[in-house]
Amino acid sequence: MNLQIRINKIQKQFGDIKALNDIEDVFESGKLHGLIGPEGAGKTTLLRNLMGLLLPSSGNIEFYENSKIVSFEHIKNKISYMPQRQSLYPDLSIEEHLHFFKSLYGLDEKYFVLKSRELLEITRLKKFLDRPAGKLSGGMYKKLGLMLSLLQSPKVLLLDEPTNGVDPISRREFWELLHHLISDEIIIVYATSYMDEAERCDIVHLLDKGRLFSKGTPANLLESAKAKTFDEYYLNHTKENV
């Protein structure tokens, strides 16, 4: 199945502040899309528009399955959003979280058993089933959040700064998990302010002050800008647009 999200010149206004300014973009399944930019670039606002938590002030967002447009109502229950500050229940164990979200999603028992077993294996959290969320390390806490976001087999996975504040080893493990998930059955959009993470993405979408100013593969973007890193790329862009 080929999945696609088309963003058609959306704007989002909060009073006098234009958080998104004529964003026109496409996200496709089978690729890991990196939404890259500093704080205030518009990343979270864009994700919340994709999720349906916010509505554009103008423009629209379209969803496609196998090149056929589908309604937001058709797909909304298959969109998972992992916010930057995810609030799990500190006293509930990993296993209790899984069963709580099973009830929340209304999942079939047979499906739940198979899916939770698969997710526990790939996240390597199986041996920590009894550990309360409040006693997990930062990296394990993020893995639990990702696992719960994947429990219903979403078609769209939106991740907002998922590795913020996580140690380098846990960041690397998180990225290994994401690359394991890439398929034609899911669109993954990963928002981050860590410029070095851009090189781990298949397609990079660079935002600044609510505008999408560049898009492409990491290699092509760096080559076209004659930059060695995305820190250098972004710094040059900022100097040119002061």
**pLDDT above 60: residue 159:** yes
Q: What is the dihedral of CA 35, 63, 59, 47, to 10 degrees?
A: -30
Are residues 23 and 59 in contact, defined by beta-carbon separation less than 8 angstroms?
yes
Question: What is the pLDDT averaged over residues 152-165?
Answer: 93
Mean pLDDT of 112-133: 95
Tell me the whole-structure pTM to 2 decimals: 0.93
Q: What percent of the chain has pLDDT over 70?
A: 99
Could you give the CA distance from residue 2 to residue 30 in angstroms, rounded to a whole number?
8
Distances (CA, A) of 219 to 74, 115, 215, 225: 36, 35, 11, 10
Domain region containing 63: 3-85+155-240
Report d(CA 56, CA 101) in Å as an integer: 29
Whether 29 maps to a domain, the answer reads yes
Place of tokens 């993020």: 142
Q: Which helix (H) or strand (E) holds 36?
A: strand 32-36
Q: What's the CA gap between 47 and 50, in Å, rounded?
A: 5
Q: Residue 169 domain-assigned? A: yes
In a domain, 44, yes or no: yes
In a domain, 33, yes or no: yes
The secondary element (H helix, E strand) that includes residue 60 is strand 58-65
- Of the chain, the end-to-end C-alpha distance in Å amounts to 43
Evaluate whether residue 105 is within a structural domain: no
Phi, psi of 149 (to 5 degrees): -70, -25
Residue 62 located in a structural domain: yes
Cα distances (angstroms) measured from residue 164 to each of 84, 85, 118, 148:
7, 9, 25, 18
Token output for 26: 């496409």
Q: What is the CATH number of the domain that holds 55?
A: 3.40.50.300
**pLDDT value for 60:** 97
Kindly state whether residue 56 falls inside one of the protein's structural domains.
yes
Q: What is residue 56's predicted lDDT score, i.e. its pLDDT? A: 96
Q: In whole angstroms, give the CA distance from residue 105 to residue 20.
A: 31
Residue 38 phi, psi (nearest 5): -75, 175
For residue 242, pLDDT over 60 is answered with no
pLDDT per position as a tens digit, 5-55: 999 999 999 999 999 999 999 999 999 999 999 999 999 999 999 999 999
If you average pLDDT over residues 126-133, what whole number do you get? 96
d(CA 149, CA 79): 9
The DSSP secondary structure of 86-108, one letter per residue, reads ----TTSBHHHHHHHHHHHHT--
* In a domain? residue 19: yes
Categorize the per-residue pLDDT at 164 as very low, low, confident or very high, splitting at 50, 70 and 90: confident
Question: For the chain, where are the alpha helices, taking DSSP H only?
Answer: 43-51, 72-75, 94-105, 109-123, 138-150, 168-181, 218-225, 230-240
When divided into structural domains, the chain yields a total of 1
| Digit-coded pLDDT (tens) for 48-79 | 999 999 999 999 999 999 999 999 999 999 99
